[in-house]
Amino acid sequence: MNKNSTLNMRGTGVKFKDDDYETPSCVLADLLPYIKNHNIIYDPFYCKGLVIVEWAKLNKLCINQKEDAFNRQHPENFDILISNIPFSLKKESVELALSLSKPFALLMPIDALGSKWINKYFDKLQFIIPHKRYNFYKEGKYGSGCWFNTMWITHGLNLNENIIKLGENKDVEDVKEKVI
């Protein structure tokens, strides 16, 4: 890993890229129908640790520690890796997730589908596309609107289709209303 990466510098407070966005439980709730039997979530990308609280709102335990995701000992006792990754490290994040040999769901910009690097992984991946743009927490404040579309790149969830486009799901919307 590059010694000047954002991930290596997080502990010092130095930032090179604006990758520090945290995921609210209303976004994570979109995954609930697909991760019913996965209760211990590992998120190797630490921002401010808010993801632990957001998963707890959905009755899930999340392991998220303030350590470099790429240069650390990863826990073994988790069911699934789920993360809103640093978007500047899409390829590296997919490679990391695959190397841990567990199911995963990584949130990233939908334009990653057109990237050359993803071609060699395409046969291993499935995709969940939200019905609208997500909003995120930045510096503890909930955003008013993300300007780009995102998707969940998944592996090991055994989805019924390789690409799932989420619609307005009443059950998920009810959960979202309760956790916001």
| Per-residue confidence band for 35, with pLDDT thresholds at 50, 70 and 90 | very high
Least confident of 27-41, 81-95, 139-153, 155-169: 139-153
pLDDT at 16: 39
CA angle 126, 170, 110 (to 5 degrees): 30
CA 117 and chain centroid, separation: 19
Q: Please give the torsion angle defined by the CA atoms of residues 92, 25, 72 and 99, in that order, rounded to the nearest 10 degrees.
A: -50
Measured between alpha carbons, how far is 173 from 178 in angstroms, rounded to an integer?
9
Domain boundaries defined on the chain: 18-174
Measured between alpha carbons, how far is 43 from 80 in angstroms, rounded to an integer?
9
Q: What is 18-174's CATH number?
A: 3.40.50.150
Higher-scoring residue by pLDDT: 101, 12: 101
**Does residue 63 sit in helix, strand or coil?**
strand
Give the DSSP letter of residue 161. S
Q: How far apart are the first and last CA of the chain?
A: 37
